[in-house]
Structure 1
Amino acid sequence: MTRHARNCTAGAVYTYHEKKKDAQASGYGTNAQRLGKDSIKDFDSCCLSLQPCRNPVITKDGYLFDKEVILEYIIAKKNENSRKLKEYERLKRKEDEISLDKATAETNQKVERFLKGENSIISKPTSHFTSEPSTSSISNMAVGRDKELPSFWVPSKTPTAEKPKLQKPHNVVLCPISGKPLKVKDLIEVKFTPIKDSGEKKSLIARECRYMCAVTHDVLSNSVPCAVLKPTGDVVTLECVEKIIKKDWVHPLTSKKLTEKDIIVMQRGGTGYARTNAELEAKQERPALQA
């Protein structure tokens, strides 16, 4: 049995500890880090600009956007889809012209082969008693077949891949977060209730606690689950929804009837706790270190 030193290089096994140590020192492998509170947006921030919303609107899936930002995104996507559609139509016309020219050329070749075969017919007496040597061969290089085969070392004879089939682009704007179809008429205006008489002389955006529940006046934050009432856009806590609204299904501010579709659960920001957020781990892919 060999002696094991601190820097033993005689082992036949590349251990996990050695691999991890070398990967950390050389910059190979995958870096995984748990995200903190400061790495994720606030509950009242836009999902695109990551800044506090001036005119907040929300989608049916609960994603909050600034109205100006999301409208610019929708207009940009519509222009991009229109450009892709025009490019598709141009390529489609070009492809149709090429296919028409190809079909015409094939028809002309068939006619030429037919006429050539007709002209080569001659009346020649045949003898059934004489045997002619057979010239048929199974070789791929015989009877001029070598000119038809592809060649990987001659550039002019190298086989080429087929062109991908054209696909018509979708003329639908998708939500940048959920990936579902997004329309301007589906955006619902949100009305936050600011905290009054907080004693702070800072502006509303600079405050750490800015808004409260429209019914219970509880302070809203990333750690408090919130919901938006669709008819008026008021933001309330889920606790208020469960304990007050769902008893009679009546809007507590306007006394109008509500349904399950009128309650939109807001997607929360980051708190740093795994129980609150589903994905708090960030990974950085690096070149793999082979053993």
Structure 2
Amino acid sequence: MTRHSRNCTAGTVYSYHERQKDQSQSGYGSKQLRLGKDSVKEFDCCCLTLQPCRNPVVTKDGYLYDKEAIISYILQKKKEIARKLKEFEKQKQRAKTEAEEIQKLEEQEKVKKFSSRTLEAPSLKTNQPGTSNQASVSNMKDGKHKELPSFWVPNLTPDAGPKIEKKPDEKVRCPMSGKPIKLKDLIDVNFTDIKDRDTKTALINKQARYVCAVTNDVLGNSVPAAVLRTSGCVVTMDCVEKLIKKDMLDPINSKKMTEKDIIVLQRGASGFSGSGLSLEAKKEGAAMQA
């Protein structure tokens, strides 16, 4: 069976183009879209502000932040944690007070029942004419009106009590990795500016802004890079594999290095390479069954 053209409506073939067009117009089916370069964060941009860093710092996991932004984030989170802890302590104290009051009421009820039983005279069971020993059908007699709150309301109705708060996490966590983050663990980053003799264009408007501190290769989202903890300089991973790992010396200040001193910089990606990031946006929808 041959396929028909896009604008042909007399054929029996339901083409891919027609199916995609019907899905976009009707809203049925899952929609997928590949993100372009303008939708991906640049490697030298802050993970919070999404703008090029003025005072860049990096975490142990390689996430880059602007120093002012991450300090503001940590301070805000500490205030929020302190507020939640205060509310949790109030709730804990309130629950303790309520438990003590319930215990006092139970003790008073026990004393009242005991005193009423001891002072109560023994009842004489006599079968007088006109009296019946059968229990009453009504649920409001024989003292049951004190147990039930109302004639038509059940005894075990759900109670909408106050919201119970859980104990908050006292650690400030990284917004990207979710691991605990401390200000003393942040490492200052020193980017090497590109020397292109262009003094009129601002650095933020340049496509190529920084280069490797050793090989002068242009850095970008398509170039894997790493931060050296001993000097804070940014070099390419190619330089790390071919030059630095041979002697494990920092080429900037000749300090001895270990594997932990090489922090792989988490970067974005272009629209043609994944680089560990998901570049496809997907929205689930109702499917049409044939």
TM-score above 0.5, yes or no? yes
Match of 1:47, as an amino acid?
C
Please give the alpha-carbon distance, in whole angstroms, between the structure 2 residues aligned to 1:42 and 1:210. 11
Q: Give the aligned partner of residue 233 of structure 1.
A: 232
Q: Where do 1:42-121 residues align within 5 Å?
A: 42-121=42-121
The 2-side partners of 1:290 and 1:112 are apart by 69
- Give 1:134 shift: 6.2
Give the aligned partner of residue 243 of structure 1: 242
Distance 2:120 2:23 in 1: 75
Measured after TM superposition, the shift of residue 36 of structure 1 is: 1.0
- Name the CA distance, whole Å, in 2 between partners of 1:19 and 1:276: 32
Distance in 2 (alpha carbons) for counterparts of 1:21 and 1:197: 47
In the other structure, the counterpart of 1:214 is 213
CA distance in 1 between counterparts of 2:19 and 2:149 reads 46
> Equivalent residues in 2 for 1:1-80 (5 A)?
23-28=23-28, 30-80=30-80
Q: What is the rounded CA distance, in whole Å, between the counterparts of 2:149 and 2:60 in structure 1?
A: 57
Aligned residue type for 2:47: C
2:250–2:257 contact (8 Å) kept in structure 1: yes
Post-superposition shift, 1:260?
0.6
Deviation at 1:258, TM superposition (A): 0.4
What amino acid maps onto 1:257 in structure 2?
A: K
CA contact (8 A) 2:190 2:232 kept: yes
Distance 1:119 1:206 in 2: 94
TM-score, normalising length: structure 2: 0.79
Partner of 1:276: 275
Cα deviation for residue 155 of structure 1 reads 9.6
CA distance in 1, matches of 2:241, 2:275: 18
Instruction: Supply the distance in 1 between the matched residues of 2:121 and 2:141 (Cα, whole angstroms).
Output: 25
Q: Name the CA distance, whole Å, in 2 between partners of 1:123 and 1:106.
A: 27
The structure-2 alpha-carbon separation of the partners of 1:122 and 1:156, relative to structure 1 and needing over 3 Å to count, comes to closer
Contact kept in structure 1, 2:203 and 2:209, CA below 8 Å: yes
RMSD between superposed Cα atoms in Å = 3.6
Q: Secondary structure at the match of 2:204?
A: coil
Taking the aligned partners of 2:154 and 2:123, their CA distance within structure 1 comes to 45
- Say which is worse superposed, 81-90 or 252-261, in terms of deviation: 81-90
**1:12 match:** none
Task: Show the counterpart of 2:174.
Answer: 175
**Cα 1:105/1:22, change in 2 over 3 Å:** farther
- Relative distance call for 1:147 and 1:23 in structure 2 (3 A) is farther
CA contact (8 A) 1:150 1:159 kept: no
Q: 1:148 to 1:112 in 2, by over 3 A?
A: closer
What is the alpha-carbon distance in structure 1 between the residues aligned to residue 50 and residue 121 of structure 2?
A: 82
Q: Is the 8 A contact 2:231 2:252 kept in 1?
A: no
Following superposition, the deviation at residue 25 of structure 1 comes to: 2.3
C-alpha separation between the residues in 2 aligned to 1:136 and 1:19?
72
Q: Cα 1:46–1:91, aligned 2, differ >3 Å: closer, same or farther? A: same
Evaluate the alpha carbon distance shift between residue 188 and residue 160 of structure 1 in structure 2; reply closer, same or farther with a 3 A threshold.
same
| 2-structure distance, mates of 1:198, 1:116 | 101
CA distance in 2, matches of 1:41, 1:125: 90
Deviation at 1:173, TM superposition (A): 1.0
- 176-185 or 17-26: which moved more? 17-26
How many residues align? The count is 271
- Residue 81 of structure 1, CA deviation: 1.1
Identity of aligned residues (%): 54
Q: Does 1:252 align with 2:229?
A: no
Q: Which structure 1 residue ranges, 5 or more long, are not aligned?
A: 1-5, 8-16, 127-131
- SS at 1:222 equivalent: coil
1:87 alignment partner AA: E
**Is contact 1:23-1:289 (8 Å) kept?**
no
Q: CA deviation at 1:172?
A: 1.4
